[in-house]
Amino acid sequence: MAKGMREIKRQIKSTQNTKQITRAMEMVAAANLRRAQQSAESARPYADKLKEVVGSIAAGTKGVKHPMLQTREVKKTGYLVITSDRGLAGGYNANVLRKVASEIRENHKSTDEYTIFVIGRKGRDFFKKRNMPITDEVTGVPDLPSFADIKSIAYAAVAKFEQGEYDQLFLVYNQFKNAMTQIPTIKRLLPLDDVSGTTTASYEYEPSPEGVLEVLLPKYAETLIYSAVLEGKASEFGARMSAMNSATKNATKMISTYTLAYNRARQASITQEISEIVAGANASS
């Protein structure tokens, strides 16, 4: 009985230590979530203004022809998948990877028909394990990423579309709604089809509208990728905060269960000792 009680005490102590860790991780994730949300919100005005300018040029330039605006026959597809480097974030990575894997199975018969750009160690390991073609990867993205952290892969993904290496490019990421809700999303990034002009502002361009568009369209696409990365980070911290909150609650329940079991075992041990004392007293008399 004493051995069983010692084991229960060890379990209680171990679970209490785990609870302290998950509680601390929840608090860190909550702090990071606030900063990630602020970063995502700060990036939106720039993306909106860039879209306005691009739309104005596209609307005012008759017969403009640019690879990023032209729909062509789809022979090969690119996917840019945003995941995290670490786990302990609930279904954050599993949901988005399951969605892109299902999309690929449904639309492609061989690996020659698609290629993958991946941000995050979890996504990279997932695709490598399944021998799926990875063109470029970025890992070690900080908790508050700057554009420079993902510039290389954003530039490569856009440039290879312009060069005709694939005919459409999809963004795959977790869209942030709130700390409890992250929606796995697949969105077509290229060719651009949402740059119609909605502004009445008049712009003058040097050297020409076409020349400006040549520079701005890739920047706009790269900005959309960066915005998705920021949303992904907010989603990651929201999912991690929720997962750690659930783990903390489960630890609390386990501690209560173990404590109840310990008290019952202790009560049984005391009862047994009393019974032995009474039996010994009766025998001596």
Cα 31 to chain centroid distance, Å, stands at 17
Report which of 79, 74, 220 is spatially closest to residue 157, judged by C-alpha positions.
Answer: 79
Q: What is the pLDDT along the chain (285 residues), one digit of tens a residue?
A: 555 788 888 999 999 999 999 999 999 999 999 999 888 888 888 887 887 777 777 666 655 677 788 888 999 999 999 999 998 898 999 999 999 999 999 999 999 999 999 999 999 999 999 999 999 999 999 999 999 999 999 999 999 999 999 999 999 999 998 888 899 999 999 988 766 555 556 666 677 777 778 888 888 899 999 999 999 999 999 999 999 999 999 999 999 999 998 888 888 877 877 777 777 666 666
pTM for this entry: 0.84
- Per-residue pLDDT at 66: 74
The strand ranges marked E within the chain are 77-82, 114-119, 134-138, 168-178, 181-190
Coil/strand/helix, residue 261: helix
Please write down the long-range contacts of 191-194, taking CB distance under 8 Å and 24 or more positions apart.
191/67, 191/68, 191/69, 191/70, 191/71, 191/72, 191/161, 192/68, 192/69, 192/217, 192/220, 192/221, 193/71, 194/51
Give the 3-state secondary structure of residue 82.
Answer: strand
Query: Which secondary structure element, helix H or strand E, spans residue 12, and what is its range?
Result: helix 2-60
Q: Is 167 left (phi over 0), alpha (psi -120 to 50) or beta?
A: alpha
What the block records as the tokens of 82 is 């945003």
List of domains in the chain: 28-242 (3.40.1380.10)
77-82 vs 114-119, strand pairing mode: parallel
Q: What is the CA radius of gyration of the chain?
A: 28
d(CA 69, CA 196): 11
The amino acid at residue 280 is G
Instruction: Please give the pLDDT value at position 265.
Output: 83
- Residue 172: predicted pLDDT: 96
Q: What is the pLDDT at residue 62?
A: 59
Question: How far, in Å, CA of 134 to CA of 136, rounded?
Answer: 6
Distance separating alpha carbons of residues 230 and 234, to the nearest angstrom? 6
The whole-angstrom separation of Cα 188 and Cα 77 is 10
* Contact in structure between 176 and 234 (CB atoms under 8 Å): yes
Q: Please, are residues 32 and 143 in contact by the beta-carbon 8 Å criterion? A: yes
Q: CA-to-CA distance for 100 and 81, rounded, in angstroms?
A: 8
